[in-house]
Amino acid sequence: MKARISVRAVAVLLTLSAASMLHAKVMPSWGSESVPQLFAKSSLVFSGQVGTVSQTEQTGSDGDGPSRLLLRVTATVKVDRLYKGDASGAAVAITYDRPADDVCAVSFCITLKTGEYGLFFVTGVGNNYQLVDAHFGRWSVSRSHPVPQKPGLSGLESDLIAGLSDNDERDLLDTVELLGGFDRLDSTQPLLDVLPIASQRVKAAIYVALLRQRDYRRLLNIAANVERASRDTQVSILQDRILFYIGEIHTAAAVPVLLTLATSRSDQLRESVIHALRQTGSPTGVPALIAALDDPIEVIRYDAVLGLATIERRPNLAPSVDAFERDAQIYIDAWKSWWLESGRARYSGATQGQKRP
């Protein structure tokens, strides 16, 4: 039996370059970024259009191996909207190194192209700037902005919300991702307003953002989305992230909806739901946890055992993964006996296996 491994944990495993094992890179999960943290680490935060892009060859290391031939790229970006720093109306030079060979075809490399418009988080002094993060330092966003502009994080939030009216799917996906990465939006209603006309990709991205913002008002719809497998790879990745964030729900207020999902035909959804019920520690979830002791998926049975032990404060019946692998039935039978002897009477007010409205 394997302990529950989160989708995000899987996503941050090594992404290996097919060109050379020497240049393996750790790729952070899309969705692990924090906009306030990016903002705090940056000396300049702005949106603008890439003008000129020039490059020179040099020998050096990109940090993942021995010296090799690198391209030192300098992209000049004209500042359009400034959220942090002192560069209003200026042209900012952003430099970065990339391999001169073809490794970028199979591995991550920073790429800025002439004419592209984006949001940039950069750090540096004078005219020497670099992306504050290779993966999350640059985003594709809309050129649609409210007038007048507001500075700071609140101004960035306002501009991103205005960008939700854009029709470009790439811009929308990045914009939704960024809005989900705020600590707490003033309102998630703008995201909800986009749902009726959103593509399947954008809709799944919005569901991820809502869960990250702990807005569970559409939890039934979100769950229905992941119960339907998609042939679109990008949608499938977003569905995996939805499942992860459902499993991270802590609030007892979401328990009534979680109970309606505890008997889903989707093994992945049941796993996330039972894990969430375990984390909430809500007595209302006890009957569903008891039912999950007979689930065909072993990790679900393990989460059910731990959830019951947490609620009942019985650490002696909360085994380690190894102990559960050796003697799973002992713990399952112990909780079933407890349920018949006293648990059912104690939690008779709890609702089990509610049907979906």
Instruction: Provide the token pair at 251.
Output: 């609030």
Is-cis flag, bond preceding 148, omega within 30? Answer: yes
Polymer length in residues for the chain: 357
Tokens of 6: 């989160």
Spatial separation of the C-alpha atoms in residues 206 and 215, rounded to whole Å:
11
For the chain (357 residues), the mean pLDDT of every run of 10, in chain order, is 42 29 43 87 96 84 63 92 86 88 66 95 86 94 86 95 94 96 96 96 97 96 94 95 96 96 96 97 96 97 98 96 96 97 85 45
- Enumerate residues 6+ apart whose C-beta is below 8 A from 113: 50, 53
pLDDT of residue 145: 84
| pLDDT of amino acid 287 | 96
78: β partners? 49, 91
Quote the crossing angle between the two packed helices 169-180 and 200-212, to the nearest 10°.
Answer: 10
Residue 352: per-residue pLDDT: 46
Of 109, 89, 112, nearest to 101 by C-alpha is 109
- pLDDT value at position 58? 75
pTM of structure: 0.85
The per-residue pLDDT for 354 is 46
H helix count then E strand count, the chain: 14, 8
CA distance 69 to 98: 9
Q: Show contacts of 306-311: CB within 8 Å, 24+ apart.
A: 306/278, 307/274, 307/277, 307/278, 307/281, 308/335, 308/338, 310/278, 310/281, 311/281, 311/282, 311/283, 311/285, 311/286
pLDDT of residue 21: 28
What pLDDT is attached to residue 3?
44
Torsion angles phi and psi, residue 273, rounded to 5: -65, -45
Q: What is the DSSP string of 185-254?
A: -S-SHHHHHHGGG--HHHHHHHHHHHHHTT--TTHHHHHHHHHS--S-HHHHHHHHHHHHHHHT---GGG
